Amino acid sequence: MQLIYIVYPILLVVLFWGAKVSKFGAFNEEAFSLRQMKAIQGFVALLIMFHHCGQKTSASWIDKKYYLGGLDMFVEIGFVLVTFFTFCSGYGLYKSFKTKPGYLNKGYFLKRIVPVVILGYIVTWLYLPFRYLLGETISGKQLFFYLSGIKLCNPNSWYVCIIPFFYLCFYLAFKYCRNEKVALTIVLLFTVAYQLLGTAVNHNDWWITGEWWFNSIHLFVVGIFFAMFEDRIVPHIKKYYIVYLIAGVALVFGAHKFWQYARSAFSYYGENWGAPDTVLRRRITLAGDILYSSSVVFVSFLLSMKIRIGNRFLAFMGKITLEFYLIHGLFVELFCFAFVGQLKSLYYIKNQLLFVAVVFVLGIAGAYLLKQLMGLVLGRNRIK
């Protein structure tokens, strides 16, 4: 038995340590609280680390001499995990808009958009010296592209490239539309237009380099919708909870089957074999991604309504979620078989469990230091 499988019971302990299950007929009233939302996002950030580690050790497309297995289940679910972030972002934006007077007038850009952009650039620039020292030839033009973000020096920074545009869309829609339903419709149309644009572009042709840029953003508008009508949706779900839970679980299995079929029968990569209907293929595949990820998030929050999670580790992870998400990939690249897929890595850690442990420890340390740095840059309180 491979030692890597020990991470699965460890993850269960991390998630459920300190958890409390509601009695029959009762519900966790903190299911959508900031505390539990942060705990969920902290855990999901940890799963994304396993997703990236799995892509370097257990993916079907890597050379057989580097293949180890054990993390196979994480390889293709990165987009599902990111949808938790986009849902929580949309939900949190609307809640802040409704509960904080003048939220869109008092430093919205400084609080929501500027920190994400600054952090994205800091981590991007951390990659740059490693690219150079590990052998990449960087011309003046390439240097400009990396420094400006036109080309991603950090391959995992795509999320911080797109989410500010959705924050901006929310700002414009809800600031200048008196009717909130119209504002919601604007965000929905912007989301759909963005996904249609993404599916019309071949891999690596433009800034949108692949499906991961657009196949998890749909739950941003769903989060806003849920927050708008939470006082009606949640009581209804509570009333028919068992029905929704059974239907939700069935939907997950059914959506998973369709997701697998769409990816194998249609694919995002039709341009690789000259498919005449490449765009249509991508959109059918995207439909599978949307259905599967939405059903997983739906069932997860159904369970959250019955199970109150939270412990010190998850609380800590919830405070450094974005920092950890951005920085851990640097250590994945430094210690896997090749840096950013084309350069010799700093040191290849062949032991898979050790590789994961090193990425985790250095990722936590790096995220903590980034959080302190951002506190200094933005003049905010640093975390303990």
pLDDT in tens, the chain (384 residues): 589 999 999 999 999 999 999 998 899 999 999 999 999 999 999 999 999 999 999 999 999 999 999 999 999 999 999 999 999 999 999 999 999 989 998 789 988 999 999 999 999 899 999 999 999 999 999 999 999 888 889 988 999 999 999 999 999 999 999 999 999 999 999 999 999 999 999 988 778 889 999 999 999 999 999 999 999 999 999 999 999 999 999 999 999 999 999 999 999 999 888 888 999 999 999 999 999 999 999 999 999 999 999 999 999 999 999 999 999 999 999 999 999 988 999 999 999 999 999 999 999 999 999 999 998 888 765 555
Q: Give the per-residue pLDDT at 34.
A: 94
C-alpha 384/C-alpha 378 separation (Å) is 17
DSSP string, 218-235: HHHHHHHHHHHTHHHHHH
Measured in degrees and rounded to the nearest 5, phi and psi for residue 226 equal -60, -45
Nearest to 90 by CA among 232, 191, 197, 233: 191
Q: DSSP for 51-87?
A: HHHHHHHT-TTS-GGG---S-GGGTT-HHHHHHHHHH
Judge contact between 38 and 17, C-beta under 8 A.
no
d(CA 364, CA 358): 10
Q: Strand pairing partners for 308?
A: 20
pTM metric for this prediction: 0.95
Task: For the beta carbon of residue 249, count every other beta carbon within 10 angstroms.
Answer: 14
Place of tokens 């592209």: 145
Q: Which residues are within 8 A (CB) of 49 and not within 5 positions of it... i.e. 6 or more apart?
A: 324, 328, 332, 356, 359, 360, 363
For position 341, what pLDDT does the model report?
Answer: 83
User: How large is the angle between the packed helices 312-319 and 34-57, nearest 10 degrees?
Assistant: 80
Quick one: CA torsion of 160, 166, 167, 172, rounded to 10 degrees?
150
21: helix, strand or coil? strand
User: Is 153:124 a contact under the CB 8 Å cutoff?
Assistant: yes
Closest CA to 271 of 311, 211, 316: 211
Count of other CB atoms within 10 angstroms of residue 277: 11
Token pair in block for residue 303 = 């369970």
pLDDT at position 275 is 84
**266's tokens:** 């249609």
Rounded to whole angstroms, how far apart are CA atoms 117 and 259? 33
- Residue 345 · residue 338 · CB < 8 Å: yes
272: tokens are 């690789």
Rounded-to-integer distance, Cα 48 and Cα 11, Å: 12
Q: Which residue has the tokens 């989410």?
A: 163
Q: What is the largest CA-CA distance in the chain?
A: 65
d(CA 336, CA 72): 16
Give the separation between CA 157 and CA 19, rounded to whole angstroms: 32
| Cβ atoms of 153 and 90 closer than 8 Å | no
